[in-house]
Homo-oligomer: A and B are copies of this chain.
């Protein structure tokens, strides 16, 4: 039918996993009234706050337009605040956002950990982590070119 290479098969597997895990994650996060994308942004903010929008966009590998709109929504819902300082808006979590991210993070962690533990041994996980790190760093480098 159609010839493939090991590389393209890996690519396909990862794509499938990601798609499916996103469905699972979204379903899981629904109980917290938050989407996967929103969780990612809140998580980044909690790590780097106070952070300017453009920097946050780069950290989350999202376009500036995208971050602008997401933050507008997150601000409306009271999870983050934007402090305008000259032309820069400094983003940080509100206490509501702080509480939300803490709560979700605990559950999310348990959820992801259990899925991995259910199908891979600790050694396998170590190997997978090592290989995925190599691969991810490489695409990161490719993107910067």
Which A positions have Cβ atoms within 8 angstroms of B? Answer: 1-11, 13-21, 23-24, 40, 47, 61, 105, 108-109, 112-120, 122, 124-129, 131-140, 142-143
Question: Chain B's nearest CB lies how many Å from the CB of A63?
Answer: 10
Contact of A120 among B5, B8, B131 (CB under 8 A): B131
Q: Once bound together, how far apart are the Cα atoms of A15 and B16, in whole Å?
A: 12
Question: Which B residues touch A135, using CB under 8 A?
Answer: 17, 116, 119-120, 128
Contact of A7 among B3, B14, B125 (CB under 8 A): B125
In chain B, what residue has the closest Cβ to A1?
B47
Q: Say whether B4 contacts A109, CB under 8 Å.
A: yes
Q: Say whether B134 contacts A120, CB under 8 Å.
A: yes
Q: Say whether A128 contacts B10, CB under 8 Å.
A: yes
Question: By CB atoms of chain B within 10 A, which of A9, A17, A21, A108 has the most?
Answer: A17
Further 15 A-B residue pairs, CB within 8 A, beyond A7-B112, A120-B134 = A3-B109, A6-B113, A6-B116, A6-B125, A6-B129, A8-B108, A8-B109, A10-B128, A11-B21, A13-B133, A14-B14, A20-B61, A24-B143, A124-B134, A128-B128
Would A5 and B139 be within 8 Å (CB), given that A14-B132, A16-B61, A120-B131 are in contact? Answer: no
Q: Once bound together, how far apart are the Cα atoms of A8 and B117, in whole Å?
A: 11
Question: By CB atoms of chain B within 10 A, which of A7, A113, A122, A132 has the most?
Answer: A7
